[in-house]
């Protein structure tokens, strides 16, 4: 079982104002590319990591989190 099983939308925060969206249902990057986005320098999952249904949000971006949680 993969940590991304059932995830079709991946949002990755890149700093406080930028974010990256990946539609995993249409095009899935290689596992190596995904790990580069999901893991921090320590090799652990970036925080916060929030799963909402089929959407996964990784990293801190206030606007992205607010719009997803409302």
**Residue 24 counted as domain residue:** yes
Kindly report, residue by residue over 15-63, the tens digit of the pLDDT: 778 899 999 999 999 989 999 999 999 999 999 999 999 999 999 988 8
- Give the pLDDT confidence score for residue 34 in this predicted structure: 93
How many domains is the chain built from? 1
Residues 38 and 48 sit within 8 Å (Cβ to Cβ):
no
Domain that includes residue 21, residue range? 1-43
Q: What is the pTM for the complete model shown?
A: 0.86
**Residue 64 counted as domain residue:** no
**Residue 34 counted as domain residue:** yes
Residues 7 and 51 sit within 8 Å (Cβ to Cβ):
yes
């Amino acid at each position: 079982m993969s940590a991304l099983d059932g995830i079709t939308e991946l949002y990755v925060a890149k700093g406080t104002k930028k974010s990256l969206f990946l539609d995993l249902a249409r095009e899935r990057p290689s596992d190596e590319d995904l790990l580069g986005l999901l893991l921090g320098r320590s090799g652990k999952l970036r925080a916060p990591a929030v799963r909402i249904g089929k959407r996964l949000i990784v990293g801190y971006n206030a606007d992205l989190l607010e719009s997803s949680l409302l």
